Amino acid sequence: MDIRNVDLNLLVALDALLAERSVSRAAVRLHLSQPAASALLARLRELFGDPLLLRSARGMLPTPRALELLGPVRRVLDEIDAIVQPRSAFDAASAEHTFTLSASDYVEYALLPKLVDYLERKAPGVSLEVRPLDLPLVAKQMESGDVDLCVTGLQNAPAGLHARPLYTERMVAVVRRDHRGVGARLTLDKYCSLEHIRVSVPGSGFSTRIDAVLATMGRKRHVRLAVPHFLLVPEIVARSDMISALPERLAHGYATKLRIFEPPLDIESFTVGEIWHERNQLDPAQQWLRDVLLELAQQSPK
């Protein structure tokens, strides 16, 4: 028997016939005429090569083959029904689920503590697996299902994916608290005279943005150290005379060690957002996670 040639409506009819053990009652259950129900029974007998139901003084009796089919047919119909029914809402309080996120170290710092705290209170059965952000590969990771959601600057969003902004971040300049070379105000001359830490986030273009702005002003800076992650910078700045640019949320987290200044040049702000593949667009669990992140991101960062 080739399943491609089987009309699934026949299984619905078989389920009704075996449950009712009467063609007339099965016809009522199926909203069919009795002749139509009899025709379905004839097709089923041909399909399975078995009488399935036999007439007797006590009504129609199932054959051994029919009794074998009773449980499997019901399970198949239940599974099909579960597939075609609308998905139920994600019940975070009782769900056992693992989400895989991809994010930069800065985004992890800005959002993960809030998210973990929220999960402990509202969704104790939900777990997180966080992977380092790999911009060249993240689209394929989400297409394959290896990553559920990516959180990063939306300027990095690959084409063809869904994206939603979470919050806008601005850049500030930071030096160590007791830096004697910097007064109450950070001038452009002082900014350019100091040694800098440059954050070169792979694939983001961030490392060249400040230098490009300075070049339009006919200025340049001396980069003494280039690092690939923002989280390395606060501790290094706190132990040196170097200056760096940091996202404001990260800088304020180290306010006891760093002095924070408005940069003496226009460093463009950026929008942090969540990015996901079409395969997760309608999934209730994924929708829930995206909405939770949006709610947490819009809370005060302090």
Q: What is the pTM of this model?
A: 0.70
Residue ranges per structural domain of the chain: 3-84, 97-168+271-297, 171-268
Query: How high is the pLDDT of residue 206?
Result: 54
Using 70 as the pLDDT threshold, list the residues of the chain that sit under it.
Answer: 1-6, 82, 85-87, 201-208, 301-302
Asked if CATH classification 3.40.190.10 holds for the domain at 97-168+271-297, the reply, yes or no, is yes
Q: Which fold has domain 171-268?
A: D-Maltodextrin-Binding Protein; domain 2 (3.40.190)
Res 279: pLDDT: 87
Q: Kindly list the distances between the CA atom of residue 163 and the CA atoms of 127, 204, 272, in Å, as whole numbers in the listed order.
A: 23, 17, 10
| pLDDT (tens digit per residue) in 132-188 | 898 889 999 998 889 999 999 998 888 889 999 999 999 999 999 999 999 999 999
- Scored b (16 or more CB within 10 A) or e, 132-160 reads ebebeebbebbeeeebbbbbbbbebbbee
The pLDDT of residue 165 is 97
The answer to whether the 3-84 and 97-168+271-297 domains have the same CATH topology is: no
Q: Which of 294, 301, 302, 299 is nearest to 165 (CA)?
A: 294
What lies within 8 Å, CB to CB, of 160 at 6+ separation is 139
* The CATH number of domain 3-84 is 1.10.10.10: yes
What burial class does residue 85 get, using C-beta atoms within 10 Å of its C-beta: 0-12 exposed, 13-18 middle, 19+ buried?
exposed
pLDDT of residue 302: 61
